[in-house]
Chains A and B, each alone.
Chain A
Amino acid sequence: MFGKGILKGLGVTVKEAVSPRLTEKYPEEKPHLPTRWRGGMFALDQEACISCGLCAMACPNKVIRQKFEKDENNKKYCTEFVMERQYCLYCGLCVEACPKSCLHLTLEFETAVYNSADVPQDLLANNNMDKQLSTYGAKPPLPKPVPPRPAVSPAAEVAAPDLPKGGEK
C-alpha cells in the first residue's frame, strides 16, 4: 500500500521523540573526558625538564617557542617556553617525544580566551601542573626496569641542523 513506508517512518520519529534526550548538558554538567584525552592546555613539570628541545623538534608546526641559556655549571635551562596554541594540531607528538615525561596535556578543555594575544601559553609563567593531567603519551609500565635513555640522543643532535623547516607562519 502506498504510504506504508511513510507511516513506518512517522512511527520511528514519534518513538524517538518520547525517548530520553541524549544531549550532554554541557555548561551545567562537565563532560567526562577520557584520561588519554588530548586537546586541552599543556602542563610542564619544570623540575624534571632537562631543556633538551626534543619537543620543539618533534612538533610539525613549530608551535613550541623555546630559548635556552646555560648556567654556571654549564647546565642548560629554559628561559622561554611558550606553546603557541594558535598553530597547534593537538597531535601530541611533543608529549610523546619528551624523554623525561615532563611535558603533559591536561584535561582542561575550556581554553577560549578573549584576546588573540592570550592564546599562546607561557609554560614557565604558569606550568599548569596543578590541573588534572592527561595520561596521553605516558610511558606504559614495563615489566623490568630499563636504563634511562640519554638526555639528548646523539642521532637527534646530528639530525637537528638539517631538520626541514616546519610550516610557514
Chain B
Amino acid sequence: MNTETNKQGRYSEVYQLNFGPQHPSTHGVLHMLVEMDGETCIGVDTKIGYLHRGMEKLLESRTYLQGLPYTDRLDYLAGVNNNLPYVLAVEKLLGVEVPARASLLRMLTCEIMRLASYMVGVGIYIMDLGAVSGVFYPFQEREYALDCMSALCGARMTQSYIRYGGVQADINEEFDVAYQKLVAETPRFIEMYHKLVDENEIFLRRTKGIGVISAEDAMDYALTGPNLRASGVDYDLRRDAPYCLYDRFKIEVPVLTAGDCYARYVQRMLEVEKIFQLIKEIYAALKEEPAGEIMAKIPKVLKPAAGEAYAQTENPKGIMGCLVASEGKLNPLRVHFRRPSFDNIAIFEKIMPGHKVADLVSIIASFDIVLGEIDG
C-alpha cells in the first residue's frame, strides 16, 4: 500500500485488486493484478499460465497423428480451426496434395465452427455486461452449428476432424439435416439479436468509447482477427493469403474504424453475417463437387522429412500460426503455436489504465479471449 497524488491532486490510497483467476468474467483463469484508485484502474499486470498444459511439449512427445487431438484443446470453442494450422504445416513437410473435396470440407467445418465461436463471443460479452439472457440466445444458435459437427464427425467441440492429407469423413444425410436447420435458424437469430442489443442505451453507454485502440497500436501490438479489423486494419488471411481453397470464393471482410468495445461487438455481428453467406457458398460448391476421395495417399506411418514448416490460418480469435520442425522421426522435434488470444491480450496493459472497474470487464469480454489458447 502506498499513497500517491492522483490526478486531482488529492491523496488517496492506491490499492491492488486481484481480478481473477477465480472471477466470473475473466473467461476462465486469467489473472489481472489491477492497481486501483477508488474505482478507477491506474495500472494492470496481466498474469497467465493457470491453464497451462504444456501443449507444445505434449505434441512433441507423440507421433504426428497422436498429437492431432490435442490441438483441439487450444481454442476449445473452435476445435477444427486449431487442427488446421498444425495439419497444414505437417502437410508442407510431407509434401502432399489435398483433394479438392477434402479442402472444401475443411473450409466448411472451419466456417461452421467460426460461426459457433463468434456466437459464444457475442453472447459472453452481453452476459459480462450484466444481461444474462443475452448469452442464451447465441448458445441456442451455436447448438445448431455443433449439431452439424457432431453429425459429421461425432464430436461437438473437440472434433479433431481434419487429418493429414484430408479429412476424417464425408458429409452424410444427417449432416444435411442439421445443416438445413442451421441455415433456417441463423437469420432469425441475427435479426433478433440486433434488436435485443444494438440500440440498447445502457449497452451503448457501457461500450462506446471504451477501450479504444488505434490502428497503429493494433498493428504494433500484433492484434489479429476481429479485434484488428474493428480498429480499421483491413486484414484477413482468408482473403490476403489464402489457404485451402479460399481463393475460389469472394471473401467479404467488414472493417470498422472506431476500435472501441462497441466496434468489436458490431464487427463480430457483421462477420457472423458474412460467415453465414460463406458457409452457404461453400456448401453449394461442395454439393457440386463430384463425390470422390477425401484423403490423399499418405503413408500409414508419418515420418516427414527433416526440416521446418510454418502455416497460418485465420481463426475466430485471430491468426493462428503453427511451426513444426521435424528431424525425420515419428514425432516432431519442435512444435510452436502462435496463439491469437495470447498475442491479443498484450494490449490490455496499454488500454486499460484510466477506465473504471466495470469497463475492465467490458474490455476483456470484447476481446473474446479463450484461456485454453492463452496458456497453451
A contact set with B: CB distance below 8 Å: 2-6, 8-9, 11-13, 16, 22, 33-39, 58-60, 89-93, 96, 105, 134, 136, 140, 153, 155-156, 159, 162-167
> What chain B residues lie within 8 Å of A156 (beta carbons)?
300-301
Q: Is the CB of B195 within 8 A of A89?
A: no
- Docked Cα-Cα span, A155 to B300, in Å, equals 8
> What chain A residues lie within 8 Å of B69 (beta carbons)?
60, 89, 91, 93
Q: Is the CB of A13 within 8 A of B152?
A: no
> What chain B residues lie within 8 Å of A155 (beta carbons)?
299-301
Residue of B nearest to A54 (CB): B300
Helix, strand, loop or mixed for chain A's interface? loop
- Docked Cα-Cα span, A153 to B299, in Å, equals 11
**B-side interface size class:** 35 or more
Residue of B nearest to A15 (CB): B192
- Docked Cα-Cα span, A24 to B276, in Å, equals 26
Q: Is the CB of A5 within 8 A of B62?
A: no
Among B70, B172, B200, which residue has the most Cβ atoms of chain A within 10 A?
A: B200
| 13 cross-chain CB contacts under 8 A | A5-B203, A6-B201, A9-B200, A34-B178, A36-B153, A36-B169, A36-B174, A91-B160, A92-B155, A93-B69, A164-B62, A167-B58, A167-B61
- Docked Cα-Cα span, A16 to B134, in Å, equals 11
Q: Is the CB of A93 within 8 A of B158?
A: no
Q: Is the CB of A96 within 8 A of B154?
A: no
Q: Is the CB of A34 within 8 A of B151?
A: yes
How far is the CB of A155 from the nearest CB of chain B, in Å?
5
Q: Does B199 lie at the interface of the complex (its beta carbon under 8 Å from any beta carbon of A)?
A: yes
Q: Which B residues between 129 and 188 are near A, CB-CB below 8 angstroms?
A: 133, 137, 140, 147, 150-155, 158, 160, 168-170, 172, 174, 178
> What chain A residues lie within 8 Å of B65 (beta carbons)?
58, 93
Report which of A9, A136, A167 forms a contact with B154, defined as CB distance below 8 A. Answer: A136
Q: Is the CB of A90 within 8 A of B155?
A: yes
- Given A36-B153, A163-B63, A164-B61, A5-B170 contact (CB < 8 Å): no
Q: Does B197 lie at the interface of the complex (its beta carbon under 8 Å from any beta carbon of A)?
A: yes
Q: Is the CB of A13 within 8 A of B202?
A: no
How far is the CB of B6 from the nearest CB of chain A, in Å?
33
Residue of A nearest to B192 (CB): A12
> What chain B residues lie within 8 Å of A8 (beta carbons)?
195-196, 199-200
Instruction: List 7 additional A-B contacts (Cβ < 8 Å) besides A5-B203, A39-B155, A89-B158.
Output: A5-B201, A13-B133, A34-B151, A36-B172, A89-B70, A93-B66, A166-B62
- Docked Cα-Cα span, A92 to B203, in Å, equals 44
Q: Is the CB of B154 within 8 A of A38?
A: yes
Q: Does B198 lie at the interface of the complex (its beta carbon under 8 Å from any beta carbon of A)?
A: yes
Residue of A nearest to B329 (CB): A162
- Docked Cα-Cα span, A45 to B208, in Å, equals 61
Q: Is the CB of A164 within 8 A of B154?
A: no
> What chain B residues lie within 8 Å of A39 (beta carbons)?
154-155
- Docked Cα-Cα span, A159 to B204, in Å, equals 60
> What chain B residues lie within 8 Å of A12 (beta carbons)?
192, 195-196
> What chain B residues lie within 8 Å of A166 (beta carbons)?
61-62, 66
Q: Is the CB of B66 within 8 A of A92?
A: no
How far is the CB of A84 from the nearest CB of chain B, in Å?
16
Q: Is the CB of B154 within 8 A of A3?
A: no
> What chain B residues lie within 8 Å of A38 (beta carbons)?
154-155
Q: Is the CB of B66 within 8 A of A159?
A: no
- Docked Cα-Cα span, A16 to B193, in Å, equals 11
Residue of B nearest to A3 (CB): B201
Q: Is the CB of B61 within 8 A of A134?
A: no
Q: Is the CB of B168 within 8 A of A59?
A: no
- Docked Cα-Cα span, A156 to B330, in Å, equals 11
Among A12, A58, A92, A155, which residue has the most Cβ atoms of chain B within 10 A?
A: A12
Q: Does B331 lie at the interface of the complex (its beta carbon under 8 Å from any beta carbon of A)?
A: yes
> What chain B residues lie within 8 Å of A9 (beta carbons)?
195-197, 200
Q: Is the CB of B63 within 8 A of A2?
A: no
How far is the CB of A3 from the nearest CB of chain B, in Å?
7
Q: Is the CB of A5 within 8 A of B140?
A: no
- Docked Cα-Cα span, A9 to B61, in Å, equals 52
Report which of B137, B197, B331 forms a contact with A164, defined as CB distance below 8 A. Answer: B331
How far is the CB of A54 from the nearest CB of chain B, in Å?
10
- Docked Cα-Cα span, A165 to B72, in Å, equals 21
- Docked Cα-Cα span, A8 to B330, in Å, equals 59
Q: Is the CB of B66 within 8 A of A37?
A: no
> What chain A residues lie within 8 Å of B154 (beta carbons)?
34, 36-39, 92, 105, 134, 136
- Docked Cα-Cα span, A89 to B172, in Å, equals 24
Q: Does B254 lie at the interface of the complex (its beta carbon under 8 Å from any beta carbon of A)?
A: no
How far is the CB of A1 from the nearest CB of chain B, in Å?
10
Which 7 A-B residue pairs are closest in the complex by CB-CB distance? A5-B199, A91-B69, A60-B66, A38-B154, A36-B154, A34-B151, A5-B200
- Docked Cα-Cα span, A133 to B66, in Å, equals 24
Among B137, B152, B154, which residue has the most Cβ atoms of chain A within 10 A?
A: B154
Q: Is the CB of B62 within 8 A of A153?
A: no
